Amino acid sequence: MFRRVMARCRRETICTRAETVRVVPCRSMAIRMTSSASSSSATNSVSREDLLDEAAYLTKSLYRNCLRSVRLIRWGNAFDDKEFERREEEFQNPTAGGVISMAPPPNREDELHSRAEYYHSFAREYFTQESDSLDNDPLVERDFRRYLYYLRKGEKDRKWLLGDMMFPDPYKNSLDQERVKRFEAMTKRYLGEDEEEEEHAVFENNSNNQNDTGESTTSSSNSNSNDGFIEDDDPDWFQKVSEKIFIDTFKMDCIVSLSCIP
């Protein structure tokens, strides 16, 4: 009797050990899967500091291009030479019966220096004014839209200025558009929009499969509000009016500043 009891205890002990061997590897495997999933999510996550570092790179790149463009227009070009020659000839030989101008004679050096200083100050104020675009903590979608809007607008205005003054643009590809797209992708991961887009894509595919006419339903989540920022290009009439006002204002500033020189 005693021997049968001991043999039964040995069999139960062996079974228990076998079950333990089967369970422990599964538990260790589950732990490895959990740790790998957490590390994967940590790799895909984007922090506020990551966004600020990327934005700092893009902002410095644009600001550096703006300063280079200002130095490029500092000494003028062939178009400026012809314009100064025309004005000097008109000043020395006024037309008969024409209106007598009280403005001082054209001064090429002073005017080119004033023009460069004006745009240098304008660029500095532009970047200073929008330097708080990403100051909020946590950051929201409106902050990113504001930053990207003024980043693109600054590059657009820089290109327009060189083209309007008949200067070539050696820095037209200096702003890395791939880094801009990368920043946009980082903002989506920061806001958690990647998962929403994937779910929306699955929903659209299911809708297309179920709809016999081939018409898919449109989700309202696609229409994001612009939060007061105009992402599209300005209409032609607005660009022309803005350019004319800008040029006239610049000419008037130059005349006033030169007339105040003793």
Give the span between the Cα atoms of 36 and 27, in whole angstroms. Answer: 14
pLDDT the model gives residue 199: 54
| pTM for the whole structure | 0.61
C-alpha closest to that of 61 among 143, 6, 127, 135:
127
Q: Which residues of the chain have pLDDT under 50?
A: 1-7, 9, 12-41, 213-227, 229-232, 234-235, 237-238, 240-242, 245, 252, 254-262
**pLDDT tens digits, one per residue of 196-255:** 555 555 556 655 655 554 444 444 344 344 445 444 454 454 454 445 545 555 554 544
Quote the longest CA-to-CA distance of the chain: 140
Using CA atoms, how far residue 138 sits from 48, 50, 55, 56, 145, in Å, is: 8, 13, 15, 17, 15
Please tell me the predicted confidence (pLDDT) of residue 94: 75
From the centroid of its chain, how far is CA 99?
49
Positive or negative, the CA dihedral 240, 244, 245, 250 is: positive
Nearest to 155 by CA among 123, 128, 121: 123
Interatomic CA distance for residues 239 and 122, integer angstroms: 19
CB 119 within 8 A of CB 161: yes
Q: How far is CA 228 from CA 56, 143, 149, 185, 225, in A?
A: 24, 12, 11, 22, 8
Neighbours of 13 (CB within 10 A): 10
Distance (Å, whole) CA 30 – CA 144: 39
Domain ranges within the chain, ordered by starting residue: 45-191+232-259
**CA pair distance 27, 22, nearest whole angstrom:** 9
Tell me, what's the pLDDT at 56?
96
Torsion of CA 178, 179, 181, 183, to 10 degrees: 170
Helix axes 236-259, 141-164, angle to 10 degrees: 70
198: tokens are 């994937």
